[in-house]
Amino acid sequence: MRSYRTVFISSILTAVLILCFLTFYRDKEHIETESTELLSSRFKEPQGPIPPLPDSSNFAPEVDKAKYQKTQAPSGAAKLRWNFADKASFRYGYALEADIESSISTTGRTMRQNISSNGLMLLESEKANKAELVLRDLKLEIEKKGRAGQTPMTAKQDVPEKRIKGINPDGRPSADSDEMDISMEIMVRLPHGALAPGGSESITMDAPLKFIGKTMKVSGADTITLDKYVIINGHRCARLVHDIRLTDLEVPDGMEGTYLAHIVGKGVVYFDMEDRCIAGGKLALLMSSRVETSPSVPEPPKNFHGELPDKVRMVTDADNLISLERKTGGTQKK
pTM of the complete model: 0.83
CA 61 to each of CA 43, 55, 58: distance values in angstroms, whole numbers, following the listed order? 39, 14, 7
16: left (phi over 0), alpha (psi -120 to 50) or beta: alpha
pLDDT at 150: 73
Q: What is the pLDDT of residue 100?
A: 95
Q: What is the mean pLDDT of the chain?
A: 83
pLDDT per residue over 70-115, tens digit each?
999 999 999 999 999 878 899 999 999 999 999 888 777 888 999 9
CB-CB contact of 136 with 120 (8 Å)? yes
Output helix, strand, coil percentages for the chain, rounded to the nearest 5.
Answer: 15, 50, 35
**CATH number, residue 323:** 2.30.230
Range of the domain at 263: 2-333
- Provide the CA 104 distance to its chain's centre, in angstroms: 22
E-strand stretches of 233-334: 235-250, 258-272, 277-293, 312-326, 332-333
The C-alpha atoms of residue 225 and residue 174 are separated, in whole angstroms, by: 24
User: Among 49-53, 141-145, 193-197, where is mean pLDDT lowest?
Assistant: 141-145
- CA 85/CA 78 separation, integer angstroms: 19
Please give the full DSSP string across 31-46, using - where no structure is assigned.
Answer: GGGS-HHHHHHHSPPP
DSSP characters over 123-187: EEE-GGG-EEEEEEEEEEEEEEE-STTPPPEEEEEEEPPEEEEEE-TTSPBPTT-----HHHHHH
- pLDDT, residue 109, reads 82
How many residues make up the chain in this entry? Answer: 334
**Alpha carbon distances (Å) from 238 to 13, 188, 292:** 32, 13, 44
Distances (CA, A) of 185 to 11, 99, 133, 191, 264: 15, 21, 10, 12, 15
CA dist 109 → 228, 257, 308, 318 (Å): 46, 21, 17, 17
Where would I find the H helices in 182-260? Answer: 182-188
CB neighbourhood size of 233 (10 A): 13
User: How many independent structural domains does the chain possess?
Assistant: 1
Instruction: State the pLDDT at residue 276.
Output: 96
Of 299 and 160, more confident: 160
Sorting pLDDT into bands at 50, 70 and 90, what band is 27?
very low
